[in-house]
């Protein structure tokens, strides 16, 4: 272990609320990048962040701090955003798993990456106090030993703690951006993640503004988030046609198991447009809880609920209002009048409404004692008094209505029956004027939402509810939506660069390395309007040397297509003066750098994926390799359910000389596999079969 013997001064820094930027508005739209991410990030940190003392202890993990207030000038709430500048050469995790599964695995490893972190406890990673590795007590960085257990504080202790912070899954925000401008959202946790100040939308709004200001190119996210106990990417896609991250422009980035963008969109529309009429009770079949729930929310909604999307939009809207604890009367006053409201007032006059209400009062009076009458029974008892639409309208407005003898209608939601119940109680109109929808608590709505999600959207449980004529396509569609987890937003920073540099040459420069198989994305080079070929070579060499480890000794030698052109020739004479040109530069890496292991983000391993689903690259799903040819394929595509273990040995169909006809054997989970061995769970092996 190496002990950092230099004593650190106890730094004091006074920060007032007035001097802090507002987290909810920073950075402003006026803050646009004037250069590519590799240069903008450094300027941004020097201007808006501070380096705490940890920077002198761990130079390969520089931790910058940005402190923000939340909301108005007088607010006491503050948020600390840490930006950890990681030197990849000295990192414990050189390669990027996120790049590997989103389709960027061929990019060379960058020299630096920047972690943007908001801790759940509100503290900073780069603070002055760290937990002792011996006893856990906090030790100030100026102290060389723990005062509790006398443990010597070493650089290795601090480094271990730092990497634990990078692996922590409880952060409110953790995103990382490579030096080349490609980044990933690792996690976003709002109030459900423990935040008392920031919601998930606050955090995403901040992150989106920050990416635009820094000139970030593309950001990916693996969406495995859950809400209300369900998969949010499935619920949100059916409800709004996009994932939750899609509200900020994150779109389909790649589907697992070879799923295309078109197939993904078709799957969403299939689930969203499933007619509720196909799920209603028909003929003499007994009614189920699903039928009652659908009918209940259809009667409660101001709009006609025809499809599953309509139903889930109704539920999520009610949930949103329940969270705010609004009374339904206030809610209706705040929102616009729906077409159905105006239609109701036009079709039925006051005498029609009073006639139905009087009939409902009589039914409730006939019920003795304190018994509740469920909405279906009450509706059925007065079914001959008016049309179904009029009955539903009156039921929604019945709570708080004044009956004879000083009695008032009360309503409650019964979670067991999944519907509203009514009875007459002594009271006054002023104390009971809320609409029946306000009787639905948040817990009741979540319970119904989860039930409907499982019945209509979950591929495993919908088989018990969806009609057989639509079952297969519904299950397949749900599986496709769940199998698409990678979403990407392209920020197109070149548009901001052109706007910020109207009189400069902005070139998208891609390197071609002689005698090396290196595929790097192009870098933006900003040059003065009279720049020469020689200037371009110099700037291109600097850019690639700065960004990629394997190109630390790269020297640009010529422009592709302009071989032999004199270096003093102005660029605009070759390609014109118009902004945003794509040029390729050929060069070579001088000498032996010993950096070949940084060739690709996927790592140094060589492997081949060739699956029956059509996948040709790692998509993050479980795979296995053939013991003969070494080619990888998905275990699910090989007939092994996700709930079953991967076999010890596996031979693919191409390498199976016996033709693969060994008969199908059942395994746990219902999957059909061909196990050849002792048959008792020992060292068997999986052979080719027809799945």
| Confidence category of residue 564, pLDDT binned at 50, 70, 90 | confident
Do residues 86 and 114 touch, judged by C-beta distance below 8 A? yes
Least confident of 20-29, 270-279, 416-425, 446-455: 416-425
User: In whole angstroms, what is the distance from residue 386 CA to residue 324 CA?
Assistant: 35
Q: What is the DSSP string of 173-203?
A: EEEEEETTSEEEEEEE--GGGT-SS--HHHH
Q: What percent of the chain shows pLDDT beyond 70?
A: 82
Do residues 434 and 328 touch, judged by C-beta distance below 8 A? yes
Per residue in 155-212, pLDDT tens?
Answer: 787 788 888 889 999 999 999 999 999 999 999 998 888 888 899 999 999 999 999 9
**Where in 497-545 does DSSP place strands (E)?**
505-513, 523-527
Do residues 554 and 586 touch, judged by C-beta distance below 8 A? no
Query: What pLDDT, on a 0 to 100 scale, did the predictor assign at position 137?
Result: 77
Task: Please say if the pLDDT value at position 114 is more than 90.
Answer: yes
φ, ψ for residue 578 (rounded to 5)? -70, 140
Q: Is 427 left (phi over 0), alpha (psi -120 to 50) or beta?
A: left
Residue range 447-469: average pLDDT? 92
| Confidence category of residue 102, pLDDT binned at 50, 70, 90 | very high
| Confidence category of residue 439, pLDDT binned at 50, 70, 90 | low
Name the segment(s) of the chain with CATH classification 3.30.40.10: 607-691
Do residues 587 and 541 touch, judged by C-beta distance below 8 A? yes
Per residue in 479-503, pLDDT tens?
Answer: 999 999 999 999 999 999 989 998 8
β-strand 505-513 against 581-589: which pairing, if any? Answer: parallel
Pull the structure tokens for residue 185.
């959202």
Task: Please say if the pLDDT value at position 684 is more than 70.
Answer: no
As beta bridge partners, residue 68 has 21, 79
Residue range 673-685: average pLDDT? 37
Among candidates 491, 494, 486, 462, which has minimal Cα distance to 476?
462
Query: What pLDDT, on a 0 to 100 scale, did the predictor assign at position 578?
Result: 65
Task: Please say if the pLDDT value at position 373 is more than 50.
Answer: yes
Per residue in 87-99, pLDDT tens?
Answer: 999 899 999 999 9
Domain range 501-598, its CATH number among 3.10.20.90, 3.30.200.20, 3.40.50.720, 3.30.420.10: 3.10.20.90
Pull the structure tokens for residue 551.
């190109």
Mean pLDDT of the chain: 82
User: In whole angstroms, what is the distance from residue 513 CA to residue 550 CA?
Assistant: 11
At the top level of CATH, the class of 607-691 is: alpha beta
User: In whole angstroms, what is the distance from residue 205 CA to residue 208 CA?
Assistant: 5
Pull the structure tokens for residue 402.
């004044």
Pull the structure tokens for residue 372.
């509740």
Q: Which helix (H) or strand (E) segment is 557 a member of?
A: strand 554-559
User: In whole angstroms, what is the distance from residue 53 CA to residue 141 CA?
Assistant: 8
Separation in Å, CA 595 to CA 204, 544, 603, 607, 629:
36, 14, 12, 21, 29
Query: What pLDDT, on a 0 to 100 scale, did the predictor assign at position 18?
Result: 46
Which residues are CB-neighbours of 378 under 8 A, at least 6 positions away?
360, 363, 364, 395, 422
Which residues are CB-neighbours of 358 under 8 A, at least 6 positions away?
none
Residue range 299-328: average pLDDT? 83
Q: What is the DSSP string of 284-346?
A: TPPP-HHHHHHHHHHHH-SS---BHHHHHHHHHHHHHHHHHT--HHHHHHHSPPPHHHHHHHH
Do residues 132 and 152 touch, judged by C-beta distance below 8 A? no
Which residues are CB-neighbours of 346 under 8 A, at least 6 positions away?
none
Pull the structure tokens for residue 9.
């001064």
3-state DSSP assignment of residue 218? strand
Task: Please say if the pLDDT value at position 5 is more than 50.
Answer: no
Q: If DSSP states are collapsed to H, E and C, what string results for 589-638?
A: ECCCCCCHHHCCCCCCCCCCECCCCCCCCCCCCCEEECCCCCCEEECCCC
Residue range 62-81: average pLDDT? 83
Do residues 459 and 270 touch, judged by C-beta distance below 8 A? no
Q: What is the DSSP letter of 398?
A: -
Which residues are CB-neighbours of 36 under 8 A, at least 6 positions away?
181, 215, 493, 497, 523, 524, 526, 543
β-strand 649-650 against 685-686: which pairing, if any? Answer: parallel
| Confidence category of residue 10, pLDDT binned at 50, 70, 90 | very low
Name the segment(s) of the chain with CATH classification 3.10.20.90: 501-598
Per residue in 624-678, pLDDT tens?
Answer: 999 989 899 999 998 888 888 988 888 888 887 644 433 333 333 333 333 333 3
Q: How crowded is the C-beta side of 340, counted as CA atoms within 13 Å?
A: 13
């Amino acid at each position: 272990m190496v002990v950092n013997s230099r004593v650190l001064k106890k730094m004091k820094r006074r920060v007032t609320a007035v001097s802090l930027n507002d987290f909810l508005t920073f950075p402003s739209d006026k803050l646009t990048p004037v250069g590519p991410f590799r240069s903008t990030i450094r300027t941004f940190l020097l201007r808006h962040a501070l380096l705490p003392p940890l920077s002198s202890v761990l130079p390969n993990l520089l931790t910058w701090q940005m402190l923000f207030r939340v909301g108005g000038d007088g607010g006491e709430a503050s948020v600390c955003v840490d930006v950890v500048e990681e030197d990849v050469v000295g990192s414990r995790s050189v390669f990027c798993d996120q790049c590997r599964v989103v389709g960027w695995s061929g990019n060379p490893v960058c020299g630096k990456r920047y972690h943007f972190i908001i801790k759940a406890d509100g503290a900073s990673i780069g603070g002055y106090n760290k937990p002792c590795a011996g006893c856990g007590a906090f030790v100030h960085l100026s102290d060389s030993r723990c005062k509790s257990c006398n443990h010597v504080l070493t650089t290795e202790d601090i480094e271990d703690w730092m990497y634990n912070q990078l692996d922590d899954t409880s952060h409110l925000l953790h995103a990382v951006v490579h030096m080349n401008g490609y980044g990933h959202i690792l996690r976003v946790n709002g109030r459900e993640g423990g935040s008392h100040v920031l919601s998930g939308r606050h955090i995403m709004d901040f992150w989106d503004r920050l990416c635009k200001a820094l000139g970030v190119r593309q950001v990916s996210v693996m969406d495995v988030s859950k809400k209300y106990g369900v998969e949010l990417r499935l619920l949100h896609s059916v409800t709004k046609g996009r994932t939750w991250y899609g509200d900020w422009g994150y779109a389909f980035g790649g589907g697992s198991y070879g799923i295309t963008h078109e197939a993904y969109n078709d799957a969403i529309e299939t689930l969203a447009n499933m007619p509720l009429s196909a799920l209603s009770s028909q003929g003499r079949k007994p009614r189920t809880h699903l039928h009652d729930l659908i009918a209940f929310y259809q009667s409660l909604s101001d709009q006609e609920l025809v499809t599953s999307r309509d139903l889930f939009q109704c539920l999520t809207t009610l949930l949103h209002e329940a969270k705010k604890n609004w009374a339904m009367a206030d809610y209706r006053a705040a929102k616009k009048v729906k077409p159905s409201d105006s239609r109701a007032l036009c079709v039925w006059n006051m005498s029609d409404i009073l006639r139905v209400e009087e009939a409902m009062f009589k039914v409730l009076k006939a019920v003795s004692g304190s018994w509740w009458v469920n909405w279906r029974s009450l509706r059925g008892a007065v079914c001959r008094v008016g049309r179904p639409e009029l009955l539903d309208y009156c039921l929604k407005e019945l709570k708080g209505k004044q009956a004879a003898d000083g009695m008032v209608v009360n309503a409650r939601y019964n979670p067991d029956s999944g519907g509203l119940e009514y009875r007459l109680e002594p009271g006054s109109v002023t104390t009971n004027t809320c609409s029946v929808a306000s009787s639905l608590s948040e817990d009741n709505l979540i319970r119904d939402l989860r039930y409907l999600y499982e019945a209509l959207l979950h591929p495993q449980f919908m088989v018990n509810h969806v009609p057989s004529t639509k079952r297969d396509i519904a299950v397949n569609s749900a599986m496709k939506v769940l199998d698409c987890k990678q979403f990407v937003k392209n920020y197109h920073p070149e548009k901001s660069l052109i706007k910020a540099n109207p009189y400069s040459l902005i070139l998208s420069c891609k390197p071609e390395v002689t005698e090396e198989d290196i595929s790097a994305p192009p870098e933006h080079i900003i040059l003065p309007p009279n720049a020469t070929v020689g200037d371009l070579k110099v700037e291109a060499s600097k850019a690639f040397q700065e960004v990629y480890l394997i190109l630390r000794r790269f020297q640009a030698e010529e422009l592709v297509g302009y071989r032999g052109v004199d270096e003093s020739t102005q660029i605009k004479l070759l390609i014109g003066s118009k902004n945003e040109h794509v040029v390729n530069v050929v060069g070579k890496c001088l000498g032996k750098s010993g950096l070949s292991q940084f060739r690709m983000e996927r790592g140094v391993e060589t492997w081949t994926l060739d699956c029956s689903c059509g996948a040709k690259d790692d998509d993050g799903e479980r795979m296995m390799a053939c013991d003969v040819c070494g080619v990888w394929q998905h275990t699910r595509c090989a007939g092994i359910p996700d709930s079953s273990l991967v076999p010890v040995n596996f031979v693919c169909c191409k390498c199976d000389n016996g033709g693969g006809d060994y008969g199908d054997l059942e395994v746990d989970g219902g999957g059909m596999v061909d196990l050849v061995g002792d048959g008792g769970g020992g060292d068997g092996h999986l052979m080719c079969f027809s799945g």
